[in-house]
Amino acid sequence: RQESDSTVENSDQQKTEIKETPLDGKIKNIGKNIKKVKESNWFSKLQTSQGALRLYSVLAGFIYIYFACSCIQYLGYYSPWYKIWGLNKEKTPSTTFTIGIDTPDVVREKTKECADQFNILKVKLGRDNDKEMIETIRSVTNLPIAIDANQGWKDRQYALDMIHWLKEKGIVMIEQPMPKEKLDDIAWITQQSPLPIFADESLQRLGDVAALKDAFTGINIKLMKCTGMREAWKMVTLAHAFGMRVMVGCMTETSCAISAASQFSPLVDFADLDGNLLISNDRFK
């Protein structure tokens, strides 16, 4: 072994010969490759060097931290309006669901269908079959009912009598009992009504609220009438400052607009937000 060692290491000729064997060619190539890698650009160094694992670990660590921070940021700042306003969404009331005016048989059938799915129903009255509608629904369910009279009662005494009758039938609120022009009559009704009276047609925007404070118990705020979230919020603020109650209503809307309207619903007494449930082409469902 000593001899072999000395042969390789000390004899120039022997060295030369060994270098020129195929095996030695491989050695040279490997050495060349290692040198190449060592002298190539920083990225290649990273790929092959021992420090790469550490570097990428640190990088991955930063990415995770950054991602976590972004998520926190997102949760904090991509705030829905109810959070900006500081409301508790657990206090959102159940929406009413509208039972359309129809023949008693159809009304009975419809009421049966939705009685299990909703906690409160809504019925539009103000016609000559008001009592029939209510009796029909009451033959099927005892759910609380909200009434939208749609300015339909023309006489204040008739309206008040109807409200007393409705109170006996488990109705919980009345919207717009008389035409919006008859504000004094409505004030007269509200003063004596056993049920809260809400303004619907009487109200559009923030500027209308003050004039209604002595005529109605509350107001029905609809985004599509009041121009949007900011004004809606001001209307809620103003109504509450006047000691009025607030309900939120809707038009025929997709769940996009309903979702917007629901943002201030934790503060309302009644939510009439079934617009998206009454259409078949809700793109935001």
Q: Does 42 bind its own copies (CB under 8 A)?
A: no
Q: Which residues contact 251 (CB under 8 A, 6 or more apart)?
A: 222, 224, 257, 275
Please provide the size of the chain in residues.
285
Residues 214, 188 contacting (CB under 8 angstroms): no
Minimum CB–partner distance for residue 285 and its own copies (Å): 25
Q: Residue 198 and residue 217: Cα distance in Å, rounded?
A: 6
Q: Residue 199 and residue 217: Cα distance in Å, rounded?
A: 8
Q: Does 241 bind its own copies (CB under 8 A)?
A: yes
Task: Supply angle C-alpha 130, 198, 146, rounded to 5.
Answer: 45
Angle in degrees, 0-180, between the axes of helices 12-19 and 2-10, rounded to the nearest 10: 80
Residues near its own copies (CB under 8 A), total: 41
Residue among 11, 36, 40, 79 that touches its own copies (CB under 8 A): 79
Q: Does 52 bind its own copies (CB under 8 A)?
A: yes
- In terms of Cβ atoms closer than 10 Å to its own Cβ (0-12, 13-18, 19+), residue 201 is middle
Q: Residue 226 and residue 70: Cα distance in Å, rounded?
A: 35
Residue among 133, 147, 174, 206 that touches its own copies (CB under 8 A): 206
Residues 202, 212 contacting (CB under 8 angstroms): yes
Nearer to its own copies, 1 or 283 (CB): 1
Residue among 54, 64, 65, 74 that touches its own copies (CB under 8 A): 74
Q: Does 161 bind its own copies (CB under 8 A)?
A: no
Per-residue binder mask for its own copies (CB under 8 A), 82-121, x = binder? --xxx-----------------------------------
Q: Does 72 bind its own copies (CB under 8 A)?
A: no
Q: Does 230 bind its own copies (CB under 8 A)?
A: yes
Q: Does 210 bind its own copies (CB under 8 A)?
A: yes
Positions that interact with its own copies (CB under 8 A): 1, 4-5, 8-9, 17-18, 20-23, 26-27, 30, 43-44, 47-48, 52-53, 63, 66-67, 70, 73-74, 77-79, 84-86, 206, 209-210, 230, 233-234, 237-238, 241
